[in-house]
Copies of this chain bind each other. A is one copy, B any other.
Amino acid sequence: MAKEKKPRRPRAETPRGFRDYFGAEVRARNAMLARVTEVYHAYGFDPLETSAVETVEALGKFLPDVDRPNEGVFAWKDEDEDWLALRYDLTAPLARVYAQFRRDLPLPYRRYAVGPVWRNEKPGPGRFRQFYQCDADTVGSGNVAADAEICGMLAEAMEAAGIARGDYLIRVNNRKVLNGVMEAAGVLDPADPEKDAHARGIVMRAIDKLDRLGTEGVAALLGAGRRDESGDFTRGAGLSGEQAAVIMGFMDARRGDGAATCARLRELVGASAAGTEGVAELERIAEFLDARGLGSERVVIDPSVVRGLGYYTGPVYEAELTFEILDDEGRKRQFGSVAGGGRYDDLVKRFTGEAVPACGVSVGVDRLLAALTAKGRAAVAEPGPVVVTVMDRDRMAGYQAMAAELRAAGIRAEVFLGSGNMARQMKYADQRGSAVAVVEGGDERARGVVQIKDLALGARLAAAMESHEDWKAQPAQREIARGDLVAEVRAMLAGQG
């Protein structure tokens, strides 16, 4: 007879690259998102929640990260032969919604969206295949006032979330200016835009690596090429020293205020029509920001912002946190970017053939929450619920009534519903982070009293005690009249606050 095979038990694991969020973390994130979206809402943006699943054809391929051109989506074939996929961002679904409902939507259409997105890419430390985004976009306005509005709104959202003024900076740049600089450097001919496309690709990727490689590394990539520490050689764009200097000048064009920076950029783009238009857009944005009183301690025109330039078609912006944190190796480094966006004018055209101007911003929710946590500004974890212990299982109904009384008074409370003696129940209350426990045994019930334990005080005292006798004599427990339960628990919680 064949040996009977024991069925293998399923592994209790999230798939690789996915994670769960527990308790205080969920509440802190929800509180942060509520504060951010209330700012979006005040600016006239309306919420939109699209389905997580889209057809692959509707999603298209517009992943914004230059560094990861091959990253994919999670996709499968539906029974009616359509390919479906999980959305990889909140912008592609917006383009689909706008094309689908454009007859019913206001024009311009301002919307915000919050939700998970999915990327089928290699997971790594701190890099997950599902993460939250929190976006705001304006579809149907070609006016750079819309970009300026989003920059101002982003500054307000940062402060609403809990990032103090001075700890963040909204940096604004313009893709058209880079195109102008490319023209001035002789690697872009507006009459023949395909020419030198390969060299421009290398330039773009080099610029994007400024943070990591520094000025010298980028200069090498603009020229003949660069050999990294491992000895690998990356071919450069082959620009002459003079050409490279124009590009490097672009990244280094930031001056004391927006007007001075724009003046410097105007020099750099020379006769380029695109470049001149881009500089004029930045000038208008600077003017709007001034009128709103958003000074350079909050929003700056900064040509060194290069992230996403390859994806956007006009102004680009990012929110950078300027304070330092310690990285995994204990080195100080600047926290960096927590939000980015810009103008993208071609997404809706895919569907309708009609060009629809649009711009928007996406907040990296997990990074912003990490920043708030680093600054101690995330929603503080509240203590756990008051735990009503169970000394006598036949009295369960009475314990339930106590918890209900406490809740009716606005105090979070629960009855211990597991099994185990008082030590086990106290351990449970400790694990819950509870501040108060309630005890009523047969003796207490007969006398119309209950014991309430100050678990926070108890923990402090226990740390200082030497013997079990000390523990039993500790003042962290008090006997009170049953009728005073709510008032006494409330006073104990207030005393801990």
Contacts and interface: CB of A to CB of B under 8 A. Distances in A.
B48 A21 contact: yes
A15 B60 contact: no
Contacts of A57: 10-11
A332 interface: no
A23 B46 contact: yes
Given A41-B412, A407-B42, A412-B41, A428 B106 contact: yes
A290 B398 CA distance: 11
A434 to B, nearest CB: 9
Nearest to A18: B51
A398 to B, nearest CB: 7
Interface centre among A49, A146, A351 (most CB of B within 10 A): A49
Interface string A343-385: 0000000111100000000000000000000000000000011
Contacts of A417: 108, 138, 141, 143, 145-146, 149
A397 B291 contact: yes
Nearest to A143: B417
Contacts of A86: 52-53
B407 A43 contact: yes
Given A48-B20, A141-B418, A76 B78 contact: no
Contact of A13 (B100, B129, B415): B100
A3 to B, nearest CB: 20
Nearest to A72: B79
Interface in A288-326: 288, 290-292
A110 B74 CA distance: 32
Interface string A398-427: 101101100100001111011000000000
B291 A58 contact: no
Interface string A132-155: 000000101101011011001000
A43 B398 CA distance: 16
A11 B60 CA distance: 11
A180 to B, nearest CB: 24
A396 interface: yes
Given A15-B53, A16-B80, A414-B44, A404 B10 contact: no
SS class, residues of chain A in contact with chain B: mixed
A51 B20 contact: yes
B400 A107 contact: no
Contacts of A15: 51, 53-55, 78, 82, 84
A76 to B, nearest CB: 4
Nearest to A106: B431
Contacts of A145: 396, 400, 415, 417
A160 to B, nearest CB: 12
Interface centre among A12, A107, A393 (most CB of B within 10 A): A12
Interface centre among A15, A99, A152, A288 (most CB of B within 10 A): A15
Contacts of A11: 55, 57-58, 351
A195 interface: no
A116 interface: yes
Interface string A14-52: 111011111100110010000000000111101111111
A248 interface: no
A187 B290 CA distance: 82
A130 interface: yes
Interchain residue pairs A-B with the least CB separation, the first 4: A44-B414, A291-B397, A12-B99, A18-B51
19 contacts: A9-B351, A10-B55, A11-B57, A11-B58, A12-B58, A12-B97, A15-B51, A15-B55, A16-B82, A20-B49, A22-B47, A23-B46, A23-B48, A110-B414, A141-B417, A143-B393, A143-B396, A145-B415, A292-B401
Given A43-B413, A52-B116, 7 more contacts: A10-B55, A11-B58, A44-B432, A52-B118, A74-B84, A108-B417, A292-B404
Interface of A: 9-16, 18-23, 26-27, 30, 41-44, 46-55, 57-58, 60, 74-76, 78-80, 82, 84, 86, 96-97, 99-101, 106-108, 110, 116, 118, 120, 129-130, 138, 140-141, 143, 145-146, 148-149, 152, 287-288, 290-292, 350-353, 384-385, 387, 393, 396-398, 400-401, 403-404, 407, 412-415, 417-418, 428, 431-432
